[in-house]
Structure 1
Amino acid sequence: MDLGLKGRKAIVCASSRGLGKGCAMALAEAGCDLVINGRDGETLAATAREIEQRFSVSITAVAADVSTAEGQKALLAACPAPDILVNNNGGPARRDYTELTREAMLDGVVQNMVTPVELIQAVLPAMMERGFGRIVNITSLSVKMPIEGLDLSSGARAGLTAFLAGVARQIAGSGVTINNLLPGKMDTDRLKGGFERAASLSGRSVDDVKAAQAREIPAGRFGTAEEFGQTCAFLCSTHAGYMTGQNILLDGGLYPAAF
């Protein structure tokens, strides 16, 4: 399917690996010129080379922390008027709510709520003026159901979801859409870290923990960054212009609900 994105410009935050990289790959495949981002310059450069070798698109790599004013300035300097913004950022480490300090809570809210709102504020006016824009926010299944140890991440991402629900509808007539992708258990480094933590607490092997968690998912497996990225690319496409303010689950059926 032609997504109608050839020549479009996209900023994909935190895209040197994992789900962000999956989104960058899919958008490059669709013909988008990309600004990719990560904190580790070496990993970011390797991702840029990989995309350039596979797809005939322009790639600009910006090594920066997207949660800082300097990082956001660098991203927007590389692409002042993107057609597409994919908001993504690392979340707070797993921690029981009783262990959270005020500083840790504020940092978590900045990472997973304030930062994407700031970037949306920066890019939205030009999108609306041009009559086309796609904003996709990578949040989490934990917005809909609790995940042990991720209370801070869940709260910040749920706050972002509620904040943007009104904004998406306010600007819906401008040709700009805002949607959220909610990953469940995806085969990423963050999930692997969860396996290791659960194994250390339970005394079981990492392989046993991994297998047990896969069995809990109706699909019987973990999701991949590649299929996640393709869903993101569709939401950014010309075919998804009538979808806005939606929360799209990619969880293999793990969330048990009819609606």
Structure 2
Amino acid sequence: MDLGLKGKKAIICASSRGLGRGCAEALAEAGCAIVLNGRDEAVLAATRAAIMERFGVQVTAVAADVSTQDGQKALLEACPEPDILVNNNGGPPRKDYTELDREALLNGAIQNFVTPIELIQAVTPGMKARGFGRIVNITSLSVKMPIEGLDLSSGARAGLTAFLAGVCRQLAPHGITINNLLPGKMDTDRLKGGFSRTAEQTGQSLDEVRTEQAAGIPARRFGTAEEFGQTCAFLCSQHAGYITGQNILMDGGLYPAAF
């Protein structure tokens, strides 16, 4: 399917690996010029080279922490007029709520609430002027259901969801959509890190932990960055202009609900 995105410009935050990279690859495949972002310069450079070689599109790499104002400035200098913004950022480390002090709380809110809003504020004037814009926020299944130890990340992402519920309707008349992608258990480095913690706590092998967790998902497997990215690309496409303000679960049926 032609997504109608050839020649569009896309900023994908935290995209040197994992789900962000999956989104960057899918948008590059659709013909977008890509701005990659990450903090590890070596990983970022390797991802840039791989995407350019595979898809033959323009790829700019910006090594920066998107949570900082300097990092955001660098991204926007690399692409002053993006048609697409994919908000993504690492969340606070897994920690019981009793262990969170004020500094940790504020940092978590900056990472997963303040930062995406600041970027949306920066890019939407140009999108309005051009009559087209696609914004996808990578949040989490934890917006819908609790995940132990991720209360800060969950709260910040849920706050972002509520904040943008009104904003997306203000922007809809201008051809701009805002949607949220909610990953469940995706086969990424972050998930594998969780396997290691569980294995240490339970005495199970990594393979046993992986098999047990996959068995608890109705799809009986973990999601992939590739399929996640393709869903993101569709939400950014010309075909998705009538979809806005939605939370799209990608969890293999893990969240048990009818609505």
With normalisation by structure 1, the TM-score equals 0.99
Equivalent in the alignment of 1:96: 96
Q: Structure 1 residue 93: deviation in Å?
A: 0.7
Q: Structure 1 residue 129: deviation in Å?
A: 1.0
Equivalent in the alignment of 1:245: 245
Letter in 1 for 2:104: A
% identical aligned pairs: 78
Query: Counterparts in 2 of 1:157-236, with a 5 A limit?
Result: 157-236=157-236
Letter in 2 for 1:133: G
Distance in 2, matches of 1:79 and 1:171, equals: 21
Q: Structure 1 residue 238: deviation in Å?
A: 0.1
Q: Give unpaired runs (5+ residues) of structure 1.
A: none
Equivalent in the alignment of 1:127: 127
Equivalent in the alignment of 1:2: 2
Distance in 1, matches of 2:207 and 2:99, equals: 28
Are residue 77 (structure 1) and residue 77 (structure 2) matched?
yes
CA RMSD of aligned residues (A): 0.5
Q: Structure 1 residue 50: deviation in Å?
A: 0.2
Q: Structure 1 residue 206: deviation in Å?
A: 1.6
Equivalent in the alignment of 2:29: 29
State which drifts further: 38-47 or 98-107.
98-107
Distance in 1, matches of 2:199 and 2:149, equals: 15
Letter in 2 for 1:244: T
Letter in 1 for 2:119: L
Q: Structure 1 residue 232: deviation in Å?
A: 0.2
Letter in 2 for 1:39: R
Q: Structure 1 residue 202: deviation in Å?
A: 1.4
Distance in 2, matches of 1:196 and 1:156, equals: 26
Query: Counterparts in 2 of 1:5-24, with a 5 A limit?
Result: 5-24=5-24
Q: Structure 1 residue 204: deviation in Å?
A: 1.4
Letter in 2 for 1:195: F
Equivalent in the alignment of 1:152: 152
Letter in 1 for 2:32: C
Q: Structure 1 residue 170: deviation in Å?
A: 1.3
What count of residue pairs does the alignment treat as equivalent? 259
What is the DSSP-based 3-state SS (H/G/I as helix, E as strand, rest coil) of the residue aligned with 1:36? strand
Q: Provide Cα deviations, 1:79-135, integer angstroms capped at 9, x if missing partner.
A: 001000000000111111111111011100100000000000000011011100000
Equivalent in the alignment of 2:139: 139
Distance in 2, matches of 1:142 and 1:68, equals: 24
Q: Structure 1 residue 13: deviation in Å?
A: 0.2
Q: Structure 1 residue 65: deviation in Å?
A: 0.2
Distance in 2, matches of 1:44 and 1:4, equals: 27
Distance in 2, matches of 1:170 and 1:212, equals: 44
Letter in 2 for 1:69: Q
Q: Give unpaired runs (5+ residues) of structure 2.
A: none
Q: Provide Cα deviations, 1:127-168, integer angstroms capped at 9, x if missing partner.
A: 011100000000000000011111110000000000001100
Q: Structure 1 residue 253: deviation in Å?
A: 0.3
